[in-house]
Chain A
Amino acid sequence: MAGTLQFDLVSPERRLASLAASEVQIPGADGDLTAMEGHAPTITTLRPGVLKVASSEGVKSFVVTGGFAEITATGVSVLAERAVPVEELTAALVDQLVADATEATTVGADKDSADKIVADLAAMRTAAGF
């Protein structure tokens, strides 16, 4: 088995996770990617989606809505605007997120990217099982 890398998930309000992971699946803006030990240093922005962290304690999933991830050979730090462990996710919360994003499509000037966020959220909802 490959070595581990230090995984940190922080939101503006608190640090959600800090553990040694064997692999991290990140919903990148240009497509999903999986970071393992020795990954080339990368910075990528996130789209709304499910972030999966595999460690010796099993797989943990978090729902993130946006932000960015900094990947180095020895660690991954994800700075998410909002991050919620999948277990704590409720249908009401997803509805809230979708409603916020939908509202942005009507007021925002950048309709395309806002539409994409809504679509991403819908995909995330299916992936999370709601």
Chain B
Amino acid sequence: MPSLKDLKNRIASVKNTRKITKAMQMVAAAKLRRAQEAAVAARPYAERMNSVMAGLAAGVGQSASAPRLLSGTGSDKVQLLVVMTSERGLCGGFNSTIVRMARAKINELLGAGKTVKILTVGKKGREQLRREFGQYFVGHVDLTEVKRVGYANAQGIARDVLARFEAGECDVVTLFYNRFQSVISQIPTELQIIPAKFEGGAVSSLYDYEPGEEAILADLLPRGVATQVFTALLENGASEQGARMSAMDNATRNAGDMINKLTTQYNRSRQAAITTELIEIIAGAEAL
């Protein structure tokens, strides 16, 4: 049975915890709004880019001279996985869901006899994957210092990935990130960026291309990779804040429940102490 003083201290400490989680929740809510705005602002560019490239790819894709970024290297032996996670913890299952998905994929690829290379973005995922797959790491992108993810960050990652592809270090590149659905639901997503895949894409032969179709496509594909990385980064950013917000909301509620429980216990023990004292006094008085 904890003493009254212990209980009092305990209540004070849980109250402090509640204040912290509450503050974190509010910070996450503010950041989430900003992250969502950024994701919405980036959408028109990504959509246009995608539709133009889909049209071009449908036109050029079949020819033998199609760029390698589109047609692939003809092999899928070496797989590069780009695993995007957060830089900070305390965001519920956010990192674990991505890591779980990546891990399943890695095991599947290894089982099929492929070579796996892992590029991590964000240190939380790196920590979780290191124990098991540390020997496959080929690089890490640190965004700890980045306050606000910009296109330049995405370009950096894309350049790194493209350089590896050009150097023949990998055949297939896949992104892992969380797609933002709502504050309580983020969907871990796997997206193959090289060789590029496009949905739909009717041949849009009505356009004049200047310079030629293939030259444009060769120019656009690297940009497309950067755009996809950027979209993924933004979605991930919004998801992280959403996950953190709901995790902190839960934590705040749990702390509240705990305070109630502890307060009840505190009041009971106080009452018990008073009753004991009273009984002692009365018993003493009767004995006289």
Q: B206 within 8 Å of A by Cβ?
A: yes
Q: A10 within 8 Å of B by Cβ?
A: yes
In A47-73, which residues have CB < 8 Å from any B CB?
67-68, 70
**Majority DSSP secondary structure for residues of A touching B:** strand
- Chain A residues in 8 Å Cβ range of B48: 10, 70, 77, 79
Give a binary string over B216-229; 1 marks a CB under 8 Å from any A CB, 0 the rest: 10011001001100
Of B39-47, B78-86, B97-105, B135-143, the segment with at least 4 beta carbons within 8 Å of chain A is B39-47
Q: B38 within 8 Å of A by Cβ?
A: yes
| A32 vs B52: C-alpha distance when bound (angstroms) | 21
Q: Flag if B211 contacts A30 (CB, 8 Å).
A: yes
Q: Flag if A13 contacts B208 (CB, 8 Å).
A: no
In A25-56, which residues have CB < 8 Å from any B CB?
28-30, 33, 40-45
| A11 vs B46: C-alpha distance when bound (angstroms) | 9
In B114-132, which residues have CB < 8 Å from any A CB?
none
- Chain B residues in 8 Å Cβ range of A28: 210
- Tier of interface size on chain A: 20 to 34
| A67 vs B38: C-alpha distance when bound (angstroms) | 20
Give a binary string over B27-61; 1 marks a CB under 8 Å from any A CB, 0 the rest: 00000000000100110111011001000100000
User: What residue of chain A has the Cβ atom nearest to residue B226's Cβ?
Assistant: A12
Q: A111 within 8 Å of B by Cβ?
A: no
Q: Flag if A42 contacts B219 (CB, 8 Å).
A: no
Q: A42-B210, A43-B207, A43-B210 are in contact. Are A68 and B219 (CB under 8 A)?
A: yes
Q: A8 within 8 Å of B by Cβ?
A: yes
Q: Flag if B211 contacts A14 (CB, 8 Å).
A: no
Q: B198 within 8 Å of A by Cβ?
A: no
Q: B230 within 8 Å of A by Cβ?
A: yes
Q: A43-B216, A45-B219, A68-B219 are in contact. Are A13 and B207 (CB under 8 A)?
A: no
Q: A interface vs B, CB < 8 Å?
A: 8, 10-15, 28-30, 33, 40-45, 67-68, 70, 77, 79, 81-82, 109
Q: Which 10 A/B pairs are nearest by Cβ-Cβ distance?
A: A44-B210, A12-B151, A42-B208, A14-B41, A10-B45, A41-B207, A10-B44, A12-B45, A43-B207, A45-B219
Can you list 10 residue pairs at the A/B interface with Cβ under 8 Å?
A: A10-B48, A12-B42, A13-B41, A14-B42, A28-B210, A30-B211, A40-B208, A44-B210, A45-B211, A77-B48
